[in-house]
Structure 1
Amino acid sequence: MSTPANTITENPPPISTGVTPQRLSTLRRWNIGLTILHLGQAAAMLILANNFAIPVLSAYTAGRPGTIGLTTSNLFDLRIGWAIALFLGLAGLDHFLTASFGRRIYERDLTHGINRFRWLEYSISATIMVIVISMYWGIVTINALIAIAGANVAMILFGWLQEKMNPPGRTITTMLPFWFGALVGLTPWIAMAVNISLLKDENLPASLYIILIVQGVFFFCFGLNQWLQYRQVGPWRNYAFGEKTYLVLSLAAKSLLAWQIFAVSLFS
């Protein structure tokens, strides 16, 4: 029997490589486990942390443009323990949603080669992380912190755009959003490097440098994971493998930063 001429047949959209029911079930178990780990660490941080805080300052020139000297004042004190608990808690909430109420959306998105939950959570939690690291290296004015937050959020959203512009079944892959995100994402780290070059205090603990190096490597690895996904390198041809790698990197980066900061300041 022939198909009527006015009937339009639609092919189902291509599905991401490796996103099978078995893989999705495994990812759900991972998300449940990460919910427990993140929320447990957030609770521990709130219980164990002391009142250590870093002041956030306003800074501006008092006079006409070109005036030498800054007027500063203390706007508020950022309780570091609370900030750490917040980014751990946000990660736990993200994993809880993807394993429960948002599971259908999460799994449907994965089949289409995207994870909106990831980018929304990263845009907040990773930005809090970068702000905390920056403050430990003396970037404490509200103006600079806003700029650092904006650059980091932009980097995360470019990652979202990279996935949006490269759906499964594409014939051409564009890496422009990735490289734009990498460029803007370097800004906070360049700002920290400038401050490090200007610091004259020889008594700074080596642990601060370790925090910077460890977190810098992890932030680089997030970008590398996406690059490997879209260059289809080895196991990264499987989109679900890249998603699981994001989960591992997120847990490791947040956990290490939390307990490194705890060891440096919050337990003193």
Structure 2
Amino acid sequence: MTTASENTVTDARSTRLSSVNLAAALLLIAQAVLVSVVVLAQSAPVLLPVTAGFPGGPVGSQAEAQVVDLAAVNLGVAVVVLLAFSALLRLAAVTPTVAGSYRRGLAAARNPLRWVEYSQVSAITVFLIAQFNGVTEVGTLVALYAITAGATLFLALQEREPAGGSLRPFVFGAMVGIVPWGIIAFYQVGAGVLHDVPELFVRTVTLSLLAVAALVWTNAWLGRRAHGAWAHPHRVEIVQITLVTLGTTLLAAHVVWGVLL
């Protein structure tokens, strides 16, 4: 059984956690600056299309849908925004205004800020990866974004459960959260079946970010089980920070080396 001292976020642990937050923020800021420089050096931006298909005739007719270009996502700018957003929340965690509630929340094995950040980071990541794999329809993209963000917020509900309580929120969130990745896999495999195999960059970024997402969910599950190293809330948080930073770094690196350069 976990003792009170193990659960307490002591001054030493709090200082260590602040250092990790600050280091992650500085790393993300450095990456945002680097990607910004690469984007500004480009002669033309890399744009990912967002389209909408409208019925071409009466219900049941064989008329082709009318596809309209609604907008385009500037890939470089999207990655910079993602890096900056994550860095901003890491910096917020070490500010005096937030640090007190952040520490008290961790002592109770709760951190809503963690899931606010990851709900958006994971949702934007899935949105972009879906576009890499050929998904352009606005309805599908918005649905993938919303499903991913919503699935992550189930983990915030899980933290409301008492220690040793039900894992239903986690299970429901996992069931919902795997759907966007299944849809992305459908497009990637389907392209291969049609002999239009996605380029190596697309395959590697998809698999690597899926692996990071799986590790984030595994860390959350282990944190609720509270055994061994995961009995310490600050360690669970450090692993979470590391994984989210790793995920955004992998996305940025793949985009820079696979597309922008």
TM value normalised by structure 1:
0.88
Is 1:70 aligned to 2:65, yes or no?
yes
Is 1:226 aligned to 2:220, yes or no?
yes
Select 2:30's aligned residue among 26, 40, 60: 40
Structure 2, unaligned stretches of length 5 or more? Answer: none
SS in structure 1 of the partner of residue 51 of structure 2: strand
Work out whether residues 165 and 174 of structure 1, in 8 Å CA contact, stay in contact via their aligned partners in 2. Answer: yes
The structure having more radius of gyration, on CA atoms, is 1
Is 1:81 aligned to 2:76, yes or no?
yes
Is 1:124 aligned to 2:120, yes or no?
yes
Please, what is the CA RMSD of the aligned residues?
1.6
Q: Which residue of 1 aligns with 2:199?
A: 205
Work out whether residues 16 and 111 of structure 1, in 8 Å CA contact, stay in contact via their aligned partners in 2. Answer: no
How many residues are treated as equivalent by the alignment?
250
| Matches of 1:156 and 1:144, distance apart in 2 | 18
My pick for the range that moved more, 254-263 or 56-65, is 56-65
CA deviations 1:9-38 (Å, max 9, x no partner) are xxxxx7871522211111011111111111
| Matches of 2:5 and 2:128, distance apart in 1 | 39
Q: Which residue of 2 aligns with 1:26?
A: 16
Q: Which residue of 1 aligns with 2:208?
A: 214
| Matches of 2:128 and 2:12, distance apart in 1 | 38
Q: Which residue of 2 aligns with 1:150?
A: 146
My pick for the range that moved more, 16-25 or 254-263, is 16-25
> Structure 2 matches for 1:246-261, cutoff 5 A?
246-261=240-255
| Matches of 1:133 and 1:16, distance apart in 2 | 39
My pick for the range that moved more, 89-98 or 121-130, is 121-130
| Matches of 2:233 and 2:58, distance apart in 1 | 55
CA deviations 1:200-258 (Å, max 9, x no partner) are 24463222111111111000000000111112232111111111100110111110111
After superposition, the Cα gap between the structure-2 partners of 1:65 and 1:233, relative to the gap in structure 1 and judged at 3 Å, is farther
After superposition, the Cα gap between the structure-2 partners of 1:258 and 1:179, relative to the gap in structure 1 and judged at 3 Å, is same
CA deviations 1:152-177 (Å, max 9, x no partner) are 011111011111223xxx4x421101
CA deviations 1:74-102 (Å, max 9, x no partner) are 11110000111111111100011001131
Is 1:52 aligned to 2:46, yes or no?
yes
Is 1:185 aligned to 2:177, yes or no?
yes
| Matches of 2:122 and 2:214, distance apart in 1 | 13
TM value normalised by structure 2:
0.91
Aligned-pair CA distance for 1:67: 3.5
SS in structure 1 of the partner of residue 49 of structure 2: strand
Aligned-pair CA distance for 1:187: 1.1
Work out whether residues 15 and 113 of structure 1, in 8 Å CA contact, stay in contact via their aligned partners in 2. Answer: no
SS in structure 2 of the partner of residue 186 of structure 1: helix
| Matches of 1:203 and 1:154, distance apart in 2 | 31
Aligned-pair CA distance for 1:180: 0.7
After superposition, the Cα gap between the structure-2 partners of 1:201 and 1:136, relative to the gap in structure 1 and judged at 3 Å, is farther
Select 1:175's aligned residue among 163, 167, 175: 167
Q: Which residue of 2 aligns with 1:238?
A: 232
Aligned-pair CA distance for 1:64: 3.1
After superposition, the Cα gap between the structure-2 partners of 1:174 and 1:43, relative to the gap in structure 1 and judged at 3 Å, is same
| Matches of 2:104 and 2:226, distance apart in 1 | 21
Work out whether residues 133 and 198 of structure 2, in 8 Å CA contact, stay in contact via their aligned partners in 1. Answer: no
| Matches of 1:243 and 1:24, distance apart in 2 | 11
Specify which structure has the higher proportion of helix: 2
Work out whether residues 87 and 126 of structure 1, in 8 Å CA contact, stay in contact via their aligned partners in 2. Answer: no
